[in-house]
Amino acid sequence: MPHADGGFVVSGRNVTHKNGDAGIVLHETDSDEQFFNDLTADGQGRLYVGSVPKVHDGAHAGRLYRLDLDGAVHVLAEDVLISNGLGVEPADEFLYHVDSPRRCVWRYRQDTGAREDFIDTSGYPGVPDGLAVAADGSVWVAIAGGSVVVGWDAAGRRLAEIPVPAALVTSVCFGGTDLRTLYVLTGANEDHPDPDGGAVYRMPAPVAGLPAPTARVRLNARVD
């Protein structure tokens, strides 16, 4: 995602600010974490990123982190089996977060950090993966193994099911000049083979999306 000082923040083996060939590490994995997965920012520019544990047995878990503007790191949850999609709604009151093996989307209050169940996706084959929040506060989730993107309103009522011509639907985002184009990413694996491999699909979005968030975390960590 873009950073206010230029460059981009990316996740992987760590969370790093990239600007050309230079890299500033903002956060490192802990000893029991394999890598960081999806990340997002809120209206203030604070970063949120989830980690994936080294052991995938249901007994070990990753974490959900928040990086404040001064670079301070806070753990918001320590029981995330596989962290995936993250997004903040337009009023900056709630953070949405996918935990794929649990087949759920959590909702966190930004003021208190309290977590509640938002969506249970167990009615669909596959697991929830990527997530995007629209300008009206609705939440759109890619269902990996389900051949569908599903939208829910802020009250958790299902709004729409968008069929996708591939099973492994991994990510979704809004784009285009008016943010009314929906981009859907798919993949392939042993359980969901696809002779064409992964693809990017483009279609009209049922609602307008939000602009990409901008990170504003202070760049005061070590340089690679």
Q: Give catalytic residues, as residue numbers.
A: 129
Question: What six digits make up the tokens of 142?
Answer: 């890619």
Burial class (CB in 10 A: 0-12, 13-18, 19+), 175: middle
Cβ count within 10 A of residue 47: 27
SS3 letters for 141-187?
A: EEEECCCEEEEECCCCCEEEEEECCCCEEEEEEEECCCCCEEEEEEE
Going 213 to 183 to 93 to 29, the CA torsion angle's sign is: negative
What is the DSSP annotation of 50-99? EEEES--SSS--EEEEEE-TTS-EEEEEEEESSEEEEEE-TTSSEEEEEE
CB 117 within 8 A of CB 104: yes
Gap between the Cα atoms of 148 and 71, Å rounded: 37
